[in-house]
Amino acid sequence: MAQIDNQPTVAVVTLHNSPNYGSCLQTYATQKVLSDMGAVPSIVDYYRADAIPENETDRALNGQVAKKMPIFKIPGVKALARIPVSRMVKRRAAPLNAFRHSKLNLTSRPYYSIEELEKDPPRADIYCTGSDQVWNSLWNKGFEKAFYLTFAPEGAKRIAYAASIGKSSLEDWEIKPMREALSKYSHISVREAEAAELLDSIGIHGAVPVIDPTLMLAKDDWSVLHSDDVPHEPYILIYQLNRNHEFDEYARKLSEKLGLPLYRIAYGVNERRAGVHTIVCPSVEQFVSLFMQAEYVVTDSFHGTAFSMNLSKKFVSISPGRFSGRIMNLLEMTGETGQYLQDYRDFSVVDNPINYEHVQQVFAAKRAETQAFLHTAIND
């Protein structure tokens, strides 16, 4: 791997504290990639308003799942639910927070608003927008200025590494502030080719599509995050982010077809299903090891799909509904669109041969392209 000159410090701002394993692991991978190249990365410990720990219970009580539950429309129910929901939120956050504080080089202080960042920005040679859906105004509920590095000192070097817009079009209102902010970047890379096209359409030219940071680390790199607390029998792993009865039924029938037990990674006890071994809020090391040891994986997650492919697993990828384009981009890039389930009656998907020799060749080539981008972006 080509080394970066002079060990520059790089302040990375990304969705490192979203309450899911994918966000946590892409941040870890970003940090390791930059460090392995000779840079000195730090992760800006920035919290969106709804990600501030004190606000997470309110977010859960007012989120999409709660809105779909008629019981929460009854006066007083939310107040009664606050204590158990708060406990659930804390349990979900605990393993992710433990990993962040032990494995990530966080800035010396947290930032709870863009005003705090602009008043006292972290010092660095380079400021970097990291991966995940940092430029998705739907996901971020608006234009999140911190992810556009508006806090960086005037004249500071700004780059983006594997940033994602996560949707197929931009709202009229966001085009101007996006163009103004990104015009200050010297180098931009994005996670989807579609994002590069969107940026080009608003006058931000030359964005380079690169692979997700989690794919920059090979199996041996991930094996460092090891846990023995995994099943010692062959099993089907379920990693499901979106409530979907058809998904549940498909996994159950697949278990019957293959004669293998189901193990589900869950964020809460409410995700338990009859006949399924449910592992609630595993440690990050256990999460990685569950993928490592699985015989099959069934997932509607981008990072679930990426991990399955990176670790050469048999898998089925199911549409999550919105934001599914990045999963299809990954499957198209590797020539494995046959693993994307089109019909819940189709169980032949698991029998499709996956050409992992070709997949790993694609990943190796994409890693080299990404390293070349980063080397240029940081050294220029």
Q: 215 and 241 share a domain?
A: no
At 37, which CATH number? Answer: 3.40.50.2000
Dihedral sign of CA atoms 88, 90, 92, 94 in order: negative
210-234 pLDDT, tens per residue? 999 999 999 999 999 999 999 999 9
Helix axes 21-36, 284-293, angle to 10 degrees: 90
What are the pLDDT digits (tens) for 101-134? Answer: 999 999 999 999 999 999 999 999 999 999 888 9
Identify whether residues 313 and 167 lie together within a single domain.
no
Q: Are residues 164 and 48 in the same domain?
A: yes
- Residues 6 or more apart in contact with residue 199 via CB below 8 angstroms: 165, 182, 188, 190, 205, 207
Residue 293 counted as domain residue: yes
pLDDT digits (tens, 9 = 90+) for 168-215: 899 999 999 999 999 999 999 998 888 999 999 999 999 999 999 999
**CA distances (Å), origin 37, targets 74, 77, 252, 304:** 55, 52, 44, 26
Q: Are 37 and 1 in contact (CB under 8 A)?
A: yes
Q: Report whether pLDDT(71) > 80.
A: no
Strand partners, 159: 128, 187
3-state secondary structure of 127: strand
pLDDT at 242 over 70: yes
254 plus 310 within the same structural domain: yes
Instruction: Write the Ramachandran bin of 354: left for phi over 0, alpha for psi from -120 to 50, otherwise beta.
Output: beta
167 and 24 assigned to the same domain = yes
How many distinct structural domains can be found in the chain?
2
**Could you tell me if residue 333 is inside a domain?**
yes
CA distance 142 to 140: 5
The reported pLDDT for the residue numbered 380 is 85
Residue 75 domain flag: no
**Does a structural domain hold residue 172?**
yes
Backbone angles phi and psi of 359, in degrees to 5 = -55, -45
Domain limits for position 159: 9-54+100-219+365-379
Residues 235, 188 share a domain: no
Q: Tell me: do 242 and 161 sit in the same domain.
A: no
Q: Report whether 207 contacts 183 (CB < 8 A).
A: no
Do 249 and 319 fall within a single domain? yes
Locate 168 and state its tokens: 């197929």
pTM above 0.85, yes or no: yes
Q: Do 282 and 339 reside in the same domain of the chain? A: yes
41-68 per-residue burial string, b: 16 or more CB within 10 A, e: under 16: bbbbbbbbeebeeeebbbbbbeeeebee
pLDDT tens track for 82-107: 555 555 666 667 889 999 999 999 99
Tell me, yes or no, whether 68 lies in a domain: no
Task: Report yes or no on 232 lying in a domain.
Answer: yes
- Residue 250: inside a domain: yes
Calpha distance 205→150 (Å, rounded): 20
172 and 154, same structural domain?
Answer: yes
